[in-house]
Amino acid sequence: MSGEQVRKRHIERHCAAAIRALAAHPAAEFRRDLLFDGNRGVALMSPHLALDVGRDSLVRCRGVADAMALRLIHTDLELHGSLMPPNAAAAMVFDILEQLRVESLAPQGLRGLRRNLDDAFNEWCRKSRASGFAENEFGLVVYSITQIVRSRLTGAAQDEEVEGLIESTRFRLGPLIGDALKVLPRLRHDQHAYAQHALTIAQVAGDIADALGGVERQTARTAQRMLLPRQHSVDERYTDAAGAWAGTGPGQPGESGGRYRVFCRDHDREVGAREVVPLASRRRVLRAELDRLVKAQAVSVPRLAQRLKTLFSAPEYAGWNFGEEDGYLDGRRLSQIVANPAYSRIFRQRQRVPRAETVVSFLIDNSGSMKRLRYEAVAVLVDIYSRALDLAGVPNEILGFTTGGWTGGQSIEAWRRAGSPESPGRLNDRLHVVYKDAATPWRRAREGIAALLSTNHFREGLDGEALEWAAGRLIAREANRHCLVMISDGAPMDSATGHHNPPGFLDGHLRDVIQRLEGGGEVELRGIGVNLDLGDFYAHSLVLDLAGTLGNAEFRALESLYRGHRLQ
């Protein structure tokens, strides 16, 4: 994940938090510039809600987030969808009018929120005028209706530039929509009654679009000129649940009940450290480098091992301790009281020893962005943890996941040879790496772990499939507890798959997998975010800043996670 992507994700997280807080809607989510209610996408066709988080100002991002929150508060989404006209142009205008209604209901006391809405709307007005929308007659109709209705609902004055631009269009629209415009302000608290008159205005806009050359051509041109939101309800794939979309076409169903698809598995591989770094001499050099980095850390491995043994072990009774001053009375020692009434060591206590019935797996993101985010620190962290867990008698393994190629590898070539069918599913080669398996002790796996310092295989990431793979390996081992720790720097990313599938395809699959694992109870799943919060995905996670020397917080990460505390 690049620096720009990290910044964009931070802004999206803040937008999502603002939406959830304002709407009191815990299931609300905002990602990839799209609004979700739980796993279901909310179709937004209002042009002034179009947002490009990577390019738009923070002021506009916050204003749009507030506008989306008002939609969740005041709109019955099922009712709105049932009333939506079939004509695409009319549907767009109908959605605009509903959005303007909910924005007009912003509480008077929340002056900051109302200012955010105004700033975001005015910035959209400036951008849309600069985009050349006036060359498109239908675009000018949409813009004029938006300005006229917003002014009536909120009482906002229009500047001279807007007045001059829409004057002629307002004059032509007046006889057609004037009666409906008059009643909209007094009906804005009643969605159903308001919608009946909004439909009249929307139908007029649809008729104009048809007269100008057809719905599809006009809405397509307007989408380009008016900066329409990506989540366009004309394309139903984009309003389905993120990742729960069930596509059609060639490919095999994935592990998530057929909702996640894989176009080609022929080039998927699972390899060991010897294949990642084939030269033994090179592995020895990497191990020496890792030992140097580990030695620079101020950490006592035996002390860490003792803490982890307490954390991951359960007490087991192993006989008795005799001659204690309290506990259970030991009848065999009562005669000693007769000989010496002051003698008190006549009790016995059960001897309890910790027994580890746990297996721990570290799953490490080997995407290209990890090269810039202290992959050396991650290698040091898991190497020390693995050694300490071994001393504590807790089996553990270290796994990695990446892709076989950039932008698709051999899988996308197979897709092209098949005629490039639409919505193909996963289009890259999956590469899973076993740096250390649970059956191999740390001392014998030292050189394999050091392969984490070789980044030649760091490419892109298919997080959902990697979690399924790691969880399957864990569950196959007999233990009372199966603990899986994902170490990553963000959301899944594969450019080929993302480009040729609906938005949220990989994110949705990851959320599906996490939901199944966390709900299943067989695996205790935790997330460690490298300089980025993974709380949007995982119920239990913490953030580690690995930009400097590792400190106490990093070496107490597992204790914090598996004692139920979440660090920020």
- Which of 5-19, 48-62, 106-120 is the most confident on average? 106-120
The answer to whether residue 199 scores a pLDDT higher than 70 is yes
pLDDT in tens, 388-427: 999 988 999 999 999 988 888 899 999 999 898 888 989 9
For 111, half-sphere exposure in the C-beta direction (CA atoms, 13 angstrom radius) is 0
Helix (H) or strand (E) holding 35: strand 34-37
What Cα–Cα distance (Å) separates residue 548 from each residue in 290, 313, 388, 504?
Answer: 16, 32, 22, 33
Distance CA 557, CA 563 (A): 10
* pLDDT-derived band at 315, boundaries 50, 70, 90: low
The answer to whether residue 133 scores a pLDDT higher than 80 is no
State the angle between helix axes of 191-211 and 215-225 in degrees (0 to 180), rounded to the nearest 10: 110
Distance CA 100, CA 96 (A): 6
Selection from 476, 464, 431, 477 nearest residue 538 by Cα: 464
Selection from 459, 468, 561 nearest residue 510 by Cα: 468
- Per-residue confidence (pLDDT) for residue 253, from 0 to 100: 32
Strand order in the sheet with 396-403: 269-272, 430-436, 396-403, 358-365, 481-488, 524-530, 541-544
* pLDDT-derived band at 297, boundaries 50, 70, 90: confident
The answer to whether residue 231 scores a pLDDT higher than 80 is no
The answer to whether residue 249 scores a pLDDT higher than 70 is no
- Asked if 493 contacts 367 with a C-beta cutoff of 8 angstroms, the reply is yes
DSSP conformational letter for 108 = T
Mean pLDDT of 75-98: 90
And the tokens for 352?
Answer: 């309890």
In the three-class reduction of DSSP (H, G, I as helix; E, B as strand; rest coil), residue 531 is classed as coil
pLDDT in tens, 178-193: 899 999 999 999 999 9
DSSP string, 311-368: HHEEEEEEEEEEEESSSEE-GGGTHHHHH-TT----EEEEEEEEEE-EEEEEEEE-BG
Distance CA 542, CA 99 (A): 37
Between 272 and 131, name the one with better pLDDT. 272
- Per-residue confidence (pLDDT) for residue 236, from 0 to 100: 35
- Per-residue confidence (pLDDT) for residue 98, from 0 to 100: 95
Does the pTM surpass 0.85? The reply is no
- Per-residue confidence (pLDDT) for residue 228, from 0 to 100: 55
Please measure the distance between the N-terminal and C-terminal CA atoms of the chain and give it in whole angstroms.
Answer: 20
pLDDT in tens, 358-399: 899 999 999 888 876 578 889 999 999 999 999 988 999 999
And the tokens for 31?
Answer: 């990602």
- Per-residue confidence (pLDDT) for residue 398, from 0 to 100: 96
Rounded to a whole number of angstroms, the CA Rg of the chain reads: 30
* pLDDT-derived band at 290, boundaries 50, 70, 90: very high
359: β partners: 482
The pair phi, psi for residue 459, each rounded to 5°, is: -130, -100
Between 243 and 333, name the one with better pLDDT. 333
Mean pLDDT of 105-120: 92
Contacts of 544 (CB under 8 A, 6+ apart): 381, 528, 529, 530, 531, 553, 554, 557
532 φψ region: left (φ > 0), alpha (ψ -120 to 50), beta (else)? beta
* pLDDT-derived band at 170, boundaries 50, 70, 90: confident
The answer to whether residue 212 scores a pLDDT higher than 80 is no
Contacts of 1 (CB under 8 A, 6+ apart): 9, 367, 369, 489, 490, 491, 493, 532
* pLDDT-derived band at 132, boundaries 50, 70, 90: low
- Per-residue confidence (pLDDT) for residue 237, from 0 to 100: 30
- Per-residue confidence (pLDDT) for residue 239, from 0 to 100: 35
pLDDT in tens, 317-326: 556 777 777 7
Return mean pLDDT, the chain.
Answer: 82
Mean pLDDT of 490-512: 86
- Per-residue confidence (pLDDT) for residue 564, from 0 to 100: 53
Contacts of 51 (CB under 8 A, 6+ apart): 33, 60, 61, 64, 229
And the tokens for 415?
Answer: 């897709």
Distance CA 385, CA 556 (A): 10
